[in-house]
Amino acid sequence: MRIRGRAIAVAFICLVTASSTLIADESERHEPDVDMFASMAGKCPAVKVAGRDFMCTSVAFFHSPGGRSSFTVPLNDPDDDSHIITFSGDKARRDQDVYELTVDRMLLKSKDRPKLNGLPVPSVVLASGACKQAGNFATQRVSSVSCAATDANGVKYEFQFESDGSPIRVMMVRAVDPEADERRAKALAAHIEQIKCRQKADAEGVLPRDRTDFILQCMDE
């Protein structure tokens, strides 16, 4: 499965925050539209979930028309290639080039979650915490992002991200028809797989000349 640059830019769009009202029964939860998203590449000096250390090489930011924002982090988890955490909140403020988001819930995806259209449905838990981003989407430059939160079960989540200096990808998203949701969901799944395969290539020390073939073969498995 060959993923090209433009498809990669579109792929993150579907990874959306939970609805602004948290429903106790997750089967009743729905996800809102997204009007803007940005993806950032770099490295994570620190990622910790429930006391366990992880790695990451990218972070995505989402904003919904209702005002909810999220930072989503695909984790390099050797035991779970679907492990993704999202810090979400609907209260934020910007002071020049610093953006701060108050976190009120966590969205947690893993291989053990129920699936809808082939994709894991996230578990949504109340949480308290904050995210801080240094940089500005308007200039397509973000130097760092950090988040820390504790959920209602007392589980702690935190990560620190540093950009590699490359321009971030920012997309303004217009309303889409329902049929587009499934297409974007499949594109998201492909992009997440690509991230995991890139991380696997790094972990196994794959040489640059063999990297593309390795990633394509990994994604086809």
What's the domain range around 25? Answer: 16-176
Residue 66's identity, in one-letter code, is: G
pTM of the model: 0.67
What is the total count of domains within the chain?
Answer: 1
| 129 domain-assigned | yes
Distance CA 84, CA 121 (A): 11
* Within-domain flag for 94: yes
Q: Residue 171: its pLDDT value, please?
A: 80
Cβ 215 vs Cβ 198: under 8 Å: yes
8 A C-beta contact, residue 29 and residue 18? yes
CB contact at 8 A, 12 and 191: yes
Q: What pLDDT shows up at residue 176? A: 53
Q: According to the model, what pLDDT value does residue 212 have?
A: 86
Q: Is the residue at 187 inside a domain?
A: no
Q: Would you state the pLDDT for residue 66?
A: 81
Q: Is residue 113 part of a domain?
A: yes
Strand ranges (DSSP E) for 64-166? 69-74, 84-89, 91-95, 98-109, 115-116, 119-120, 123-136, 141-151, 156-163
Residue 185 lies in a domain: no
Q: Which of 98, 24, 100, 89 is nearest to 63 (CA)?
A: 89
Contact 203, 197 (CB under 8 A): no
From first to last of the 221 residues of the chain, give the pLDDT tens digit.
333 233 223 233 334 333 333 323 333 333 446 778 888 889 999 999 999 999 988 899 988 888 899 999 998 888 888 889 999 999 999 888 899 999 999 999 888 888 777 777 888 999 999 999 998 887 778 899 999 999 999 999 999 999 988 888 888 776 555 566 666 667 666 767 777 788 888 888 988 888 888 888 887 77
Residue 71 lies in a domain: yes
Predicted pLDDT of residue 150: 96
Q: Is 58 a domain residue?
A: yes
